[in-house]
Amino acid sequence: MNLDYKKSLAWLKENLFSSIPSSILTVVTIYFVLGFFRGLFGFAMASDKDWLSVLNNMQLYMVQAYPEEDFIRVWISVGLALVFAGMSIGLWKSTEESSLSDVFSKFLRVSLAFLFFTVVAPTFSSVTDNDGLIQTEESFPMDTRLQLLIPSAILVIVFFVLKNLNLNYKFNKSDLLCFYLAIPIVLLWIVKLPTIQLDSSNQRIIPDPLMPIADTTKIPWTIIFGLFLGFYFIGSRFKDSKNMKRTMSISWVLLPLFIFSWIFKKPEIDLPTILGQDIPIFIGIFLIGALTITFINNPVVEKYFSIYLGILIAITGISLFISIPILLKSALLLLVLFTIVIPAVSSSSKGKRNLIIVWGVSLFTLAVLIRGGSSDTQIIVQQQSIFGGFSLTWLLAIFGTYVSFPLGVLLALGRNSKLPIVRLVCTGIIELTRSVPYITWLFFASVTMAVFLPEGVNFELVVRVLMVTAFFSGAYFAENIRGGLQSIPKGQYEAADAIGMSPFQKTSLIVMPQALRAIIPTLVSSAITAFKDSSLVTIIGLIDFLTIGKVIIGTQSIPVNFVGHDRENLLFIAFFYWIFTFTLSRRSMKVEKRLGLGER
């Protein structure tokens, strides 16, 4: 304990008080930081701030106007995501351990944060009265401060003592993560929150009574957490299975698409269209792909491969501008991608057989997703889309990462391709997309895109925004990945050629892993940017997370008047975005450290 104390003093002296200018800078910085937090706490505790405008509208924030009778679909979507998360944490279960002292250290930090709040929070706050005059009032009385200060100080002392007992009991870090996640679930059943209640004259009861959290919230979250734990233990039993890990990685890519196109959307099933259109397209394109895989290495066919690929690319390009089923357009595009990689992996009969299976599964998955995504929804809402609030923000963020990342990989590889037509097309897409601001692309999706679509083809605004978002983020991902490709030493390419690797093997096993490893910070930054840029859709009339807090809640007057309380909601929105971006940034730092890229 004495040694830790000396280390802490040495660190403070070396980093904060190493010289007179450094000491002055430290003191000035502390002064401004304390002033910032005092102002923030004073704003939050002022009596004219109604934080129930946030708490009472959490459902609106999450799913906007999604009908309550279909809420089971929302819970299924959340449950599937957490089940997959539990399975993944189990499959990639950490071998690192934390001591009991480390656990108490985390609780000590939380207690110190609470103690910091009670000490720094100002006693008086500025409020605006009904006449618009600014007045000062006591918002944090001393007796209230003492009621919070004493227990928080006791907790700090207790956890400080426990931390320094050097308890060497070890716990797996993945198991501890499950324990930490259980804490908010337990609190759901214990904590009581201020709740808006109306009297017989339909007036709000002041002060707002403390009431338990609704069963419609507690029970689903408890069930979902139970499933999370169950699949965590299942995943930990199969943590040595490479096939399970490979399957889970692919499933994570498909899960958001399946959730948004089938579960959340509740599409109408048009059986005649499936039987008369989807199945024939699937069979026809599957047979073309299977025949291509089977005979691609035939000496007679092989010399005409470039011509065949060129014709296929031309047909696919033309199909994008004519009125044919969207499934056929997507299937042709998938066929082009498979045709490009077929020569590299179909050299043996086993490789051909495996590739035909992969081709069939990929085409079937594409057909299922296209059918769900292109069908009309059975959900009835007042606005133009069933997606609103955080569901829309998350949908745009998913397409800003999951969909645009593989698109960026393909564009980056295409830009470095030796085939002129592929290189020119990919370069054109990247440069055209990056040369125009994202907000301009949003206006293009909102106003202009319909002019370029074939007659009879009409996408709703959300779909058009998703299309431009995927290409915009994909173009930036492509340039980041191209930078990673250029960082690969020439000797790596020569070594791969020396041992007889095919171009596909060289790219997938040697070049791409090193390129992605080198640009992890840049990729994470692009993903964070895509998440934050999703808030720009409010300009073209989509009701996202920001729109609800800035526009909708600030105009509510029935049954409770929240007019003028938009600042509380904007602060909540800023904190909400920060939580997600900070968490993603911290996780990327751990990945970098694990890969030997150092620690920021």
Angle at 555 between CA 549 and CA 559, to 5 degrees: 105
Other Cβ atoms within 10 Å of 478 Cβ, number: 27
Which pLDDT score, from 0 to 100, does residue 130 have? 67
- SS3 of the chain: helix, strand, coil, percent, to 5: 75, 5, 20
18 φ, ψ (degrees, to nearest 5): -75, -20
Confidence (pLDDT) at 157: 93
Residues contacting residue 241 through CB under 8 Å, at least 6 positions apart: 91
Is the backbone of residue 596 left (phi > 0), alpha (psi -120 to 50) or beta? left
| Per-residue pLDDT, 423 | 84
- Say what the pLDDT of residue 225 is: 96
Greater pLDDT, 239 or 323: 239
Q: Which of 59-73, 112-126, 451-465, 467-481 has the lowest mean pLDDT?
A: 451-465
pLDDT at residue 600 is higher than 60: no
More confident residue, 90 or 449: 90
User: Does the pLDDT of residue 3 top 80, yes or no?
Assistant: no
How far apart are the C-alpha atoms of 375 and 355, rounded to whole Å?
30
pLDDT at residue 187 is higher than 60: yes
> What pLDDT score was predicted for residue 2?
54
Kindly provide the residue ranges of all beta strands, DSSP E only, lying in 438-581, ordered along the sequence. Answer: none
Mean pLDDT on 427-450: 88
The pLDDT of residue 185: 96
Q: Is 137's pLDDT higher than 70?
A: yes
User: How confident is the model at residue 573, as a pLDDT?
Assistant: 92
pLDDT, the chain, mean: 85
| Alpha carbons 441 and 403: distance in angstroms, whole number | 17
Provide, rounded to the nearest whole percent, the portion of the chain with pLDDT above 70.
Answer: 95
User: Cα(509)–Cα(524) distance, rounded to whole angstroms?
Assistant: 22
pLDDT of residue 97: 87
Percent pLDDT > 90 in the chain is: 22
**Numbered ranges of CATH 1.10.3720.10 in the chain:** 243-571
pLDDT at residue 86 greater than cutoff 90:
yes
CA 351 remoteness from chain centre: 35
* DSSP reduced 3-state for 229: helix
Average pLDDT over residues 268-284: 90
Q: What is the pLDDT of residue 456?
A: 59
pLDDT digits (tens, 9 = 90+) for 439-492: 999 999 888 887 776 665 677 788 888 888 888 888 888 888 888 888 888 888
C-alpha distances out from residue 397 to 234, 279, 403, 535, 536, Å: 29, 32, 10, 10, 12
- Cα 38 to its chain centre, rounded Å, is 32
> Which residues make Cβ contacts (< 8 Å) with residue 549, sequence separation at least 6?
54, 61, 566, 569, 570, 572, 573
CA–CA separation, 276 vs 371, rounded Å?
13
On whether the CB atoms of residues 407 and 430 are closer than 8 A, the answer is no
Q: What is the pLDDT of residue 85?
A: 94
Cis amide prior to 207 (ω within 30 degrees): yes
| pLDDT band, very low/low/confident/very high, at 178 (cuts 50, 70, 90) | very high
Buried/exposed 55-82: b ≥16 CB within 10 Å, e otherwise: ebbebbbbbbbbeeebeebbeebebbbb
Per-residue pLDDT, 346: 64
On the question of a cis peptide bond just before residue 280, with omega within 30 degrees of 0, the verdict is no
Mean pLDDT of the 115-141 span: 81
- Which pLDDT belongs to residue 61? 92
Q: How far apart, in whole angstroms, are the C-alpha atoms of residue 232 and residue 175?
A: 9
Contact 444, 374 (CB under 8 A): no
What is the arithmetic mean of pLDDT over 137-165? 88
In CATH terms, the superfamily for domain 243-571 is MetI-like (1.10.3720.10)
Q: How far, in Å, CA of 309 to CA of 461, rounded?
A: 34
Residue 376 has pLDDT above 60, yes or no: yes
pLDDT of residue 79: 95
Rounded Cα distance between 109 and 355, Å, is 53
pLDDT digits (tens, 9 = 90+) for 229-260: 999 999 999 988 988 998 898 888 888 888 88
Q: Which of 179-188, 282-291, 563-572 is predicted least confidently?
A: 563-572
CA distance 384 to 405: 28
pLDDT band (50, 70, 90) for residue 306 = confident
Task: Give Cα 389 to chain centroid, integer Å.
Answer: 14
> Three-class SS string for 45-95?
HCCCCCCHHHHCCHHHHHHCCCCHHHHHHHHHHHHHHHHHHHHHHHHCCCC
Q: How many helices (H) and strands (E) does the chain have?
A: 28, 6
Give the span between the Cα atoms of 236 and 177, in whole angstroms.
Answer: 14
Choose between 63 and 501: higher pLDDT.
Answer: 63
Over range 212-223, report the average pLDDT. 94
Q: Check pLDDT > 70 for residue 358.
A: yes
Give the model's pLDDT for residue 463.
81
